[in-house]
Amino acid sequence: MTSEELLRKLRERIVGFAASRMQRDSAEDLAQETLIVLHQKYPDLDRIEDLLPLALQIVRFKIMAAKRKAVRRGEYTQEAVDDLPLAESGASPLASAERKQMRERLTAAIAKLGERCRRMFALKLEGRNFGEIQEILGAASINTVYAWDFRCRKQLLDRMGGTWEGPR
Amino acid sequence: MRSEETERLLGGYATGSLTESERRVLFEAALEDQQVFDALQDEEALRDLLADGESRTAVERALRLPVPEKLGARWFARPWVWGWAVGLAASCVLAIVLLRPEKREIASVSIPPMAPNASLQSAPEESIASKQRPRAKKQKANVPQPGVVAADRAPEPTEQIVASPAAPMAMSLRSSTTLPLAFVVVAPSDVIQAGDAIRIRVRPDAAGVMSLLQRGAAGTWTLLEPAVDVLAGQEYTIPRLPFIVTSESNFRLMLVPTGGLPRFAVFTVTPGKAAPSQ
């Protein structure tokens, strides 16, 4: 896949995602701004493994910023590209509060998980891949580990109300 | 549509548990499929949280906390609870066995065939089943209307089933009394009481058209059930709505075999007194 084709598909996906959360025009703008950021700040990246996670991150921050502005002033002004807060050190008090809330919800949900689900999560946080987790937990097959992980994630998500970030 | 593999890989994205090749597979799927992209975008919130040092520490701490013991598990770890539970279960089973309605067959009649023209004549009736059985019942003044399943019945009658020996068809005949919610099959020795709702189970020996008639006070026969097409050897329960036993009643079960002449069986249901309650 060429770089141009990759960016075209990426744009299509971002518009599709953003359009489910904001007006179509804003979604188009958000996709455009995301691609501009990628182009201006990360011109050397052309692999999907690099571009897609970055795009996800940028889109998330842009949507959060847009929501904050809309709530605060009722404006839908576009974010300046240069203002994009990719570095976490610059998190606003509101963003910090949101993160704190999500952390509390997540830890409360974890407290209700069973032993195996906790172990799975802990091993994943240690950076273990599913093959290693299979060995450590003594699962008969990798599919068993996938099934456990699926159920555990579902339990966790259910206990958090269906989404990581809480009700939209 | 999210494939099974994509679903699995999504679980490892936020925690960074995917190998390089797995990440690539997941990202390529996200580029091709909007649902996968959306799901991945949702996972980004968790990935972002876990990338924050303070949040990650809090999550790791929560994962290390002891798993809360389930209340049920704690109770059932105690032997006396098991003993109590087993005892309770045994009591329940015993109660169900003792209280459930027993299946009782009232009458099983096998009548030899006879000449069709003769079968149309009324025949002398002969009792084939008559016996008393104790039964505790609540008496109710108002007798249920015919056609309505009776829930309450007058106490202690005796049942007598009479069938014509000259009836033309071989059949198995059963009457059923009702409980409030269901019919039960009753035995020949059982008592039918006034107020019981009755239906008859018939297995005709020939295919044809079958009907059930009841003799009224003036001696006229009333069709209780519209004639139904029947097959030989199959079981039918008639009438569709049960009739209520209030006093001695005569019935005629008629079968018109396909291409043959009518045959019938006559029987009487008489509510009677039951033996004293035990």
In this complex, the residue of B44, B58, B63 whose CB is nearest that of residue A57 is B44
Q: Is the pLDDT of residue A111 over 70?
A: yes
Q: Is the pLDDT of residue A145 over 70?
A: yes
Structure tokens at A126: 């240690």
Sign, Cα dihedral of B18, B21, B22, B25 = positive
pLDDT band at A82 (very low <50, low <70, confident <90, very high): low
Q: Which residue has the higher pLDDT, B64 or A85?
A: B64
Global model pTM greater than 0.90: no
pLDDT band at B98 (very low <50, low <70, confident <90, very high): low
Express each pLDDT in A42-53 by its tens digit.
Answer: 888 888 999 999
User: Which of B14-28, B225-239, B251-265 is most confident?
Assistant: B14-28
Q: Which residue has the higher pLDDT, B245 or B57?
A: B57
Pairwise CB contact (< 8 Å): B63 & A122: yes
Tell which of A20, A52, A60 to mutate to test the B interface (max B CBs under 10 Å). A52
- Taking residue B231's Cβ as centre, other Cβ atoms within 10 Å add up to 13
- Measured distance CA(B193)–CA(B270) in Å, rounded: 8
Q: Which residue has the higher pLDDT, B100 or B152?
A: B100
Pairwise CB contact (< 8 Å): A150 & B48: no
pLDDT band at B234 (very low <50, low <70, confident <90, very high): confident
Express each pLDDT in B31-43 by its tens digit.
Answer: 999 999 999 999 9
Residue with tokens 């994630």: A153
Q: Which residues of B touch A99 (CB under 8 A)?
A: 48-49, 52, 55
B12 close contact with A: CB closer than 8 A: yes
Query: CA B32 → CA A52, A75, B28, B29, B90, distances in Å?
Result: 12, 34, 6, 5, 60
Q: Is the pLDDT of residue B4 over 60?
A: yes
Pairwise CB contact (< 8 Å): B41 & A17: yes
ipTM over 0.90: no
Residue range A5-13: average pLDDT? Answer: 91
Three-state SS across chain A? CCHHHHHHHHHHHHHHHHHCCCCHHHHHHHHHHHHHHHHHHCCCCCCHHHHHHHHHHHHHHHHHHHHHHHHHHCCCCCCCHHHCCCCHHHCCHHHHHHHHHHHHHHHHHHHCCCHHHHHHHHHHHCCCCHHHHHHHHCCCCHHHHHHHHHHHHHHHHHHCCCCCCCCC
Q: Is the pLDDT of residue B276 over 60?
A: no
pLDDT at B120: 31
- Measured distance CA(A142)–CA(A148) in Å, rounded: 10
pLDDT band at A9 (very low <50, low <70, confident <90, very high): very high
Q: Is the pLDDT of residue B119 over 70?
A: no
Nearest CA in chain B to A17: B38
Residue with tokens 């692999």: A47
Express each pLDDT in B10-23 by its tens digit.
Answer: 999 999 888 889 99
pLDDT at A17: 92
Sorted by sequence, the CB contacts under 8 Å of residue B146 that are 6+ apart come out as: B243, B244
What distance in Å separates residue A29's CA from the closest CA in chain B? 18
For the CA atoms of A22, A25, A30, A32, the dihedral, rounded to the nearest 10 degrees, stands at: 160
Sorted by sequence, the CB contacts under 8 Å of residue A54 that are 6+ apart come out as: A38, A42, A45
The H-or-E segment that residue B92 falls in is: helix B79-99
Nearest CA in chain A to B21: A49
Lowest mean pLDDT among A103-112, A127-136, B137-146, B200-209: B137-146
pLDDT at B258: 79
Closest CA to B234 of B198, B210, B270: B210
CA angle A129, A157, B34 (to 5 degrees): 75
B53 close contact with A: CB closer than 8 A: no
Tell which of A88, A107, A144 to mutate to test the B interface (max B CBs under 10 Å). A107
Q: Which residue has the higher pLDDT, A14 or A98?
A: A14
Q: Which residue has the higher pLDDT, B177 or A164?
A: A164
* CB of B172 closer than 8 Å to CB of B265: no
Query: CA B59 → CA A96, B12, B16, B55, B70, distances in Å?
Result: 16, 16, 15, 6, 22
In this complex, the residue of B17, B20, B61 whose CB is nearest that of residue A124 is B17
Sign, Cα dihedral of B65, B66, B67, B71 = negative
Q: Which residues of A touch B6 (CB under 8 A)?
A: none
Helical packing angle, A93-111 and B53-64, nearest 10°: 10
- Taking residue A27's Cβ as centre, other Cβ atoms within 10 Å add up to 19
Lowest mean pLDDT among A33-37, A40-44, B69-73, B252-256: B69-73
Q: Widest CA span of chain B, in angstroms?
A: 102
Pairwise CB contact (< 8 Å): B11 & A146: yes
A164 close contact with B: CB closer than 8 A: yes
Residue range A13-27: average pLDDT? Answer: 89
